[in-house]
Each structure stands twice: as structure tokens, then as C-alpha cells.
Amino acid sequence: MKISDILNRDAILPDLCSETKADVIQELAGAIAPLAHTDPASIGQVLLERESLGSTGIGGGIAIPHGKLPSVKEVCVGFGRSSKGVEYDALDNLPVHIFFLLLTPEDSTGGHLKVLAQISKLLKMDMFKDRLKTAQSAREIFDIIAEQDEEF
């Protein structure tokens, strides 16, 4: 599964304004809500509930907030970037700059795990992360992700 096949350009936020974990989650939820056909508040609530189980800040400046909702009919992926970085309770206690948001249908397990694995695999490449951090636009971010997808 290619991330670029399920990432909508309208859900790419190259300049997150939020400065806290909860606010980043709400900002990302607002961007993906129209694509998920769900209200941002419901998305935010599910993501924050997931965060209460343990941070989705995986270290290296990356977080992958994710959740399942009954109203979501297909896998939805969003992206956000914070130039300043956000304190996110990441595993390495460093600020997070790159956010991939993942929403899946409530009854999805295999698809959910495949997408998480693919995102994680992409983000292990330092050059890929560096390119995402310096991209100038949502279009460029999408193109970087699509180009990297082709190599897998």
C-alpha cells in the first residue's frame, strides 16, 4: 500500500500553527475531517483517547497519531509539519516536527497496521525526513512522499 494513494493533498498542513500536543491533534483533525466525513471534534477525541494510552510520538521528531472511528469508511491519512517543533511526550523526549495522522474504520485491523508499518518504514530514512522538513509547500511534500513510495 502506498501512502500517496491514501494521502489527500488537502490534508497536508506544511505550517502547523499549534504549539501543544492537543492543539496539533485538533488542527490535524480539522484538515482531515472533510475527507473522513466526520466532525473534527470526534476525530480529536478519538486521537486524544489513543494518546492517553501512550504517546504516538515515536522519536526522531516524528509522531503518528492514529485512531479508529465507526463513521470512517476508508483509511485516511493526513500530514502536518511544525518548523518550531511541538512538545509531544515523544519516546525520546524531543520535540516533534513531522506528523502523519491515520484514521481507519472501526472494524479495520490489517489495513491499519499495514499503513502504520509503511509510514514507519518511510520515516526511518533520514534523507526522506530531511526533505519533508525543508519542503516549501503541500504539493512538494506530497511529491516527496509519492517519490519515496515508488521505491517500495
In a domain, 36, yes or no: yes
Q: What is the pLDDT of residues 77-102, one digit of tens each?
A: 999 999 999 999 999 999 999 999 99
E strand or H helix at 56: none
Per the structure, how many domains does the chain have?
Answer: 1
> What pTM was computed for the model?
0.94
Q: Which of 37, 66, 97, 112 is catalytic?
A: 66
For residues 79, 81, 46, 7, the Cα torsion angle rounded to the nearest 10 degrees is 0
Q: What is the pLDDT of residues 105-114, one digit of tens each?
A: 988 777 778 8
In a domain, 150, yes or no: no
CATH number at residue 124: 3.40.930.10
Backbone angles phi, psi at 91, to 5 degrees: -55, -35
Q: Is 66 a catalytic residue?
A: yes
What does the alpha-carbon distance between residue 143 and residue 67 come to, in Å, rounded to a whole number? 25
Containing structural domain, residue 94: 3-145
In a domain, 118, yes or no: yes
